[in-house]
Structure 1
Amino acid sequence: MSPDASPDPYDNPIAFGQRVQIYRTRRGMTREQLAGLLGHHASWVKKVETGTMRMPRLPEILRIAEALRVRRLNDLVGDVGAEPYTDLFVGPGHDKLPAVRAALSAFPSVGDGPAPTTVFLRAALDTAWAARHSSPNHRDVIGGLLPGLIRDAQRSVRHADTAADRRAAQVLLAETYFLTQFFVAYQPDAGLLWRVSERGVMAAQESEDPHAIGLAAWLSAQAHRDSGPGHYDAADNVVMDALRLLEPGLSEALPDVQAIVGALRFEAGFTAAKRRDSATAWGWWERAGQVAAQLPVGYFHRVTSFGKAVMGAHGVTVAVELRAGRESVRQANRAEADGIPSRPRRARHRIEQARAYHLDAQPDVALAALAQAHEAAPETIRYNGYARRIVLEETASRVPERRQRASRLAVDIGLMAA
């Protein structure tokens, strides 16, 4: 290994502080950025990394793991040969992931049979989206549908007779990749996630459809932002490019395109909140709300979940990302969950409420919100790193009743064995 290369954190023995520094560097974060995420000064991070202070207690370690998006707790604290590993911010690989990966990796063959009609594909995608929003175990359902959908959508593009037919098929192919990205997200295959995201962008651009292009930008921005602070600018650039394309025709646009504009505005606010830029974050949230207010009564965008019903949930997310404890709780208390028609989106909102209560030192209320999330959609909480971190932290609580509640939930979401 080159003397200039960063060491591998799996090379033992490496102290906890060294592991923190390695993962921080790999995430493209400065000490000041990590300190800001943790609510400390940069000098505190330096002391941790250089080993001049003792290893922090479990709650602080979990917050560091959250900030650095470390996959397993063992990767950060060492003892990598010990069992069990504790997965944090990447969920367990789904049983249907290999079949989905195989469909994405298959090389198209000549004479692969007739292409399905666009009517058939549209109906199949409608069924898949409906199943995603209504099923508590939505990954299991769409994971079973995706291999066939991917092959059919790709075949439809290859067999298109005219330019117009090909563009129509590309719209459906792009939407298939969007659905696939929801399935692949937070599973242990980051390379596959990026492959799906890029294919969605390419298919959307080939379709020349504004709605598809906006959706591709929305998902691409999330992929960039989830890659860490070093990618926030890329996330912003994607969003701003899409808004420049879509906003000029906003007043005459169909509701689906209007909703994409609203969703993109919120994404800009989300990234600003990650940067702790309060004024910009709330400004974009308000601009997203202006779009939501103009949408038809009861409107709900099936890909982005954007609509009036989620604006309260978005407010909770902005406050939590800004680490504004009191404001987070205020937003959580006023945001309704029952009006959100999607089970996974409703569960994610409950998780954001739990983050708000936990940030405000109300762990019992946070656990209650996570229990509601599990009731709405077990697979959502199972793959959510924030939920897993809160549950794991409270399994070490000094309050017996709280520790028992957290332990039961940890078993339910697969963090602990029964």
Structure 2
Amino acid sequence: MSSEDATPDLYADPLRFGQRVQILRERRGMTQVQLADLVGISPHTLRKIENGQQKAPRLDMVMRIAEALRVRDLADLTGHPEAHVDLFIGPGHPRLAAVKAAVDSFPITGAVEPPPVAHLEARLHAAWQARHASKNHREAIGRLLPDLIRDGQALVRHADRADERRAAQALLAQTYSLSQFFIAYQPDSSLLWRVAERGMVAAQESEDPHTIGVSSWLLAQAHRDSGPRHYDAADAVSREAAAYLRPLLPDANADVLAIAGALEFELGYTAARRRETGVAWRYWDQANDMAKRLPGDYYHPVTSFSRAVMGAHAVTVAVELHQGGESVRQAARADRSVIKSRPRRARHRIEEARGYQLDNQPDVAIATLEKAFEAAPETIRYNGYARAILLEEVESTQAPRRRRAAELAGKVGILAA
């Protein structure tokens, strides 16, 4: 390939904003029509931006483009080193290195003595409870994960009978599922993929329907959050898992019903990302029907799927469809239910804030992000959408709004020093 054909280096060349948009868009495999639809402008307008016929847009549009292109660092898009802000990757957690070392370690000698199955089950149950109850859930589970991973791997290695091995694989898959919640949105995407794929393999080896459903749900999320080119893969995983569970549902327990419902919603989530309005709401309806079959006070231990969470899911669908008014209406309805899990409650508040921002209610959006911070500071710290809203509002021309956004941004720690 000649030097003229090479993709320009974003740092070596003094590129215009529009050129940077084009390069990042093409790296994502997106067409101008697709990107324009995602950010809410016409393809003609986007073409003018990329060609330099229109000056760089306002910060709110820059943030929407950054969101659509899943830009990790705002400087990549703006070309200004002083704009060095990580958007969709949070700060690496202090316990990330220890978790990574445990994931990557495969002892051959079998020196680690496995714990009794009941002991590992109890520790995993306690870890999931800590994850849902803690404001700083990554810290809570990050200190537990290295030993859980090592013991889960040891349990599989030392299993003698087929039934023992299946049970051990189910616990190892559950440990990898917990790990994925810790690793998500941290600066090591390859580690996330290793964990998601190993969790799926362990789940299949376990032959346990619930375990397979959970690992499929998480693998679908890993695909979906990798960008539009991976939406088809996300849907394929969700559909296959849903089809596998469907014959079991008439006699299924609540956990299996719930993970089947969570998979239905995942299909709706991806449809909403594609702006497929009818398809997205149809899957939401199907997930809601599944939720109605669950006891009123039931919460799925991994996904939080329940009757109460369906209102939050409706907000997410409306936000992903960029329906600001509908997002606000759904948020009002959703607030009638209480989400027990702190990180899930914080995530819901962030989705609500996105809806208020779409509906041109930035002050309410900031107030809602403050509620998210109160529920679970680590959730907002690692969430790109929350970071984007705050970074936009710290540039507001309204002084009170600017101060409030800057104060919260300082607490969250998202502004580069």
The residue aligned with 2:17 is 16
Shift of residue 220, structure 1, vs aligned partner? 0.9
Task: Give the 3 Å change call, closer, same or farther, for CA 52–104 of structure 1 in structure 2.
Answer: same
The residue aligned with 2:29 is 28
Task: Give the 3 Å change call, closer, same or farther, for CA 338–382 of structure 1 in structure 2.
Answer: farther
Matching residue's letter, 1:312: G
Shift of residue 77, structure 1, vs aligned partner? 0.5
Shift of residue 361, structure 1, vs aligned partner? 0.1
Point out the more displaced range, 359-368 or 243-252. Answer: 243-252
TM-score (norm 2): 0.97
The residue aligned with 1:226 is 225
Q: Output the CA distance in 2 between the equivalents of 1:179 and 1:28.
A: 31
Shift of residue 5, structure 1, vs aligned partner? 4.4
Q: Output the CA distance in 1 between the equivalents of 2:110 and 2:24.
A: 48
Point out the more displaced range, 333-342 or 300-309. Answer: 333-342
Matching residue's letter, 2:393: E
Matching residue's letter, 1:37: L
Shift of residue 223, structure 1, vs aligned partner? 0.8
Q: Output the CA distance in 1 between the equivalents of 2:112 and 2:137.
A: 30
Task: Give the 3 Å change call, closer, same or farther, for CA 55–417 of structure 1 in structure 2.
Answer: closer
Q: Output the CA distance in 1 between the equivalents of 2:208 and 2:172.
A: 12
Contact residue 217 and residue 242 of structure 1 kept, 8 A: yes
Q: Output the CA distance in 2 between the equivalents of 1:417 and 1:113.
A: 42
The residue aligned with 1:103 is 102
Q: Deviations over 1:128-151 (max 9, x none)?
A: 100000000000111111111100
The residue aligned with 2:49 is 48
Q: Output the CA distance in 1 between the equivalents of 2:409 and 2:16.
A: 28
Matching residue's letter, 2:249: L
Give the ranges of 4+ consecutive aligned residues of structure 1 lying more than 3 Å apart after TM superposition.
Answer: 1-5
Secondary structure (helix, strand or coil) at the match of 1:260 reads helix
Shift of residue 107, structure 1, vs aligned partner? 2.8
The residue aligned with 1:205 is 204
Secondary structure (helix, strand or coil) at the match of 2:414 reads coil
Q: Output the CA distance in 2 between the equivalents of 1:5 and 1:302.
A: 49
The residue aligned with 1:325 is 324
Matching residue's letter, 1:283: R
Report percent identity of matched pairs: 61
Matching residue's letter, 2:39: L
Contact residue 220 and residue 235 of structure 2 kept, 8 A: yes
Point out the more displaced range, 133-142 or 335-344. Answer: 335-344
Task: Give the 3 Å change call, closer, same or farther, for CA 242–401 of structure 1 in structure 2.
Answer: same
Equivalent residues in 2 for 1:18-417, closer than 5 Å: 18-80=19-81, 82=82, 85-336=84-335, 339-416=338-415
Contact residue 115 and residue 159 of structure 1 kept, 8 A: yes
Task: Give the 3 Å change call, closer, same or farther, for CA 68–417 of structure 1 in structure 2.
Answer: closer
Contact residue 74 and residue 85 of structure 2 kept, 8 A: yes
Contact residue 110 and residue 154 of structure 2 kept, 8 A: no
Q: Output the CA distance in 2 between the equivalents of 1:5 and 1:162.
A: 56
Shift of residue 416, structure 1, vs aligned partner? 2.9
Matching residue's letter, 1:75: D
Q: Output the CA distance in 2 between the equivalents of 1:269 and 1:111.
A: 44
Matching residue's letter, 1:405: R
RMSD value, Cα = 1.3
Shift of residue 417, structure 1, vs aligned partner? 6.8
Shift of residue 6, structure 1, vs aligned partner? 2.8
Contact residue 27 and residue 227 of structure 1 kept, 8 A: no
Shift of residue 28, structure 1, vs aligned partner? 1.8
Q: Output the CA distance in 1 between the equivalents of 2:201 and 2:336.
A: 35
Matching residue's letter, 1:207: S
Shift of residue 338, structure 1, vs aligned partner? 5.7
TM-score (norm 1): 0.97
Q: Output the CA distance in 2 between the equivalents of 1:10 and 1:175.
A: 42
Aligned positions, number: 416
Unaligned runs of 5+ in 1: none
Point out the more displaced range, 326-335 or 309-318. Answer: 326-335
Q: Output the CA distance in 2 between the equivalents of 1:337 and 1:9.
A: 47
Matching residue's letter, 2:191: L
Shift of residue 105, structure 1, vs aligned partner? 1.2
Task: Give the 3 Å change call, closer, same or farther, for CA 337–389 of structure 1 in structure 2.
Answer: farther
Secondary structure (helix, strand or coil) at the match of 2:144 reads helix
Q: Output the CA distance in 2 between the equivalents of 1:331 and 1:391.
A: 22
Shift of residue 113, structure 1, vs aligned partner? 3.2
Matching residue's letter, 2:228: P
Q: Output the CA distance in 2 between the equivalents of 1:373 and 1:254.
A: 32
Q: Output the CA distance in 2 between the equivalents of 1:94 and 1:8.
A: 29
Contact residue 344 and residue 376 of structure 1 kept, 8 A: yes
Shift of residue 57, structure 1, vs aligned partner? 1.4
Matching residue's letter, 1:16: F
Q: Output the CA distance in 2 between the equivalents of 1:10 and 1:338.
A: 48
Q: Deviations over 1:273-324 (max 9, x none)?
A: 0111111000000000001001012000111110001000000000000111
Shift of residue 2, structure 1, vs aligned partner? 5.4
Matching residue's letter, 2:213: G
